Amino acid sequence: MNLTTFLPRLLRCGRWLGLLTMVASPSVGAVTQEIRALFTPDSANPQSNKFINKTPSTGYCEYYPDICRNSDTFSIRLLTQLESNKAIEADAGPRNSAMFKVPGGWRSLTVTNADTGEVETVEVRISGVGSNYVLSDTAANLTGASNAGEGHNQLWKGAGWVNPAPPCTTTGMGFYGASTYAFFWKTPDESACVKVANFPIPAMTYGYLDFAYELRTPNPLGMSSGLYTGSLSYRLGPGGDFDFGDVMIPNDSDLTLDFVLDVQHTLKVDIPPGGEKVQLVPAGGWQSWLQAGRRPVRLFRDQTFNISASSRFKMQLECEFGGFPYDCMLNDPVSRRSVELSVSISLPNGLMDSAGQPVKRQRLRAGAANALQFQPGFYVDRAPGILHFEIPQRQMEFMLQPGVASRYAGNVTVIWDSEV
């Protein structure tokens, strides 16, 4: 008997500079940033079933990768600038001071597989914000301090900008010059963080906009292969999602994050050399039948194979000979008699049926309408499974008659199909 397998269709001190990784949309005042994540199974870490963010970090996480890696945080630097539209007065209210309010809570968007139409949900939150402020004069001149460090500390309540106002928290990163201060803060929620000036500031600019983000992505093991895309848009400016108060006005009014989730599954089946030819024999061989005429209880063969799977898949049979009520049959061309062939599957740990149960001797049937679906609990890499072939006991008397030689044969195609 021949078997054919179908594979799938498959924050510290130091210099802090930044590079921009973004795509600008044609409309003025809008910025589009792609965020791309990839899932591909990792044989070295099969229990890790999550997307890997493939978007290059710019800004804060570019220079502090270990800190960001430990908190699953990523950052983007935009060339969005903010200019003051009037002086920042001493002891002004929150909206007339240096204010930062960002979408620090989780927001959801839908991503869609362009080929299958399947949809999944991605969640994102802005977990940090930063920039480099540029004063219209030196901090020392604005405050009367003797040096730049004292000037920056005296200019704002709560000391220098390395120490943000609650609820924002410090990353430990702050660098200053005579009239500049680079900073980056953590944003635990959507509440505003406000730095109030102790002295009037005639004008101020934020030279760029840094933000950190965190992602929650769906379980890739339940997703089909392909690209899932979706977008999330934010408004920048007074009253917007990114709100910097009524004084600091951004030159970009909109930010769109374009998400691309790339799912690259593995489904591979390896049958050992010679495994495509299956000979069914009794337990202990044919000697009892040939020498004593004792019919065997059954004829069978367990054929092992190795499977690697990170996605859902279906299994079904195609039979050279078949007929109701049997799916597959073996035929003797001389006597023109046929007998039932039963084919079942046992899958390794980590692969389950549609009800989430282990797969042990589950009967395979012929035809797409009878296909069985299986799913991984984690990535299975070259784990052993078994195809069980059997002619059942009820066929023995009909098949084996003393003094009558016969040869039953037939082709069975076992199909593993990743297109579920």
Beta pairing class for 412-417 and 5-6? parallel
User: What whole-number distance in Å separates Cα of residue 1 and Cα of residue 67?
Assistant: 59
Beta strands in 178-321 (DSSP E): 180-186, 193-195, 204-206, 209-216, 226-235, 248-250, 254-263, 267-270, 299-309, 313-319
Distance CA 21, CA 43 (A): 31
| CB 20, CB 79: distance < 8 Å | yes
**According to the CATH classification, is domain 267-417 in 2.60.40?**
yes
Task: Pinpoint the residues of the chain covered by CATH 2.60.40.
Answer: 267-417
* pLDDT values of the chain reduced to their tens digit, one per residue, 420 residues: 333 322 222 222 232 222 223 333 333 478 999 999 999 998 888 888 899 999 999 999 998 898 888 888 899 999 999 999 999 999 999 999 999 999 999 999 999 999 999 999 999 999 999 999 999 999 999 999 999 999 999 999 987 788 899 999 999 888 999 999 999 999 999 999 999 999 999 999 999 999 999 999 999 998 999 999 999 999 999 999 999 999 999 999 999 999 999 999 999 999 999 999 999 999 888 887 777 678 888 899 999 999 999 999 999 999 999 877 888 999 999 888 899 999 999 999 999 999 999 999 999 999 999 999 999 999 999 999 999 999 998 888 888 877 677 889 999 999 999 887
Spatial CA neighbour of 39 closest among 222, 214, 308? 222
CA quadruple 241, 242, 244, 247: dihedral, nearest 10? -70
Please state the pTM of the whole predicted model: 0.81
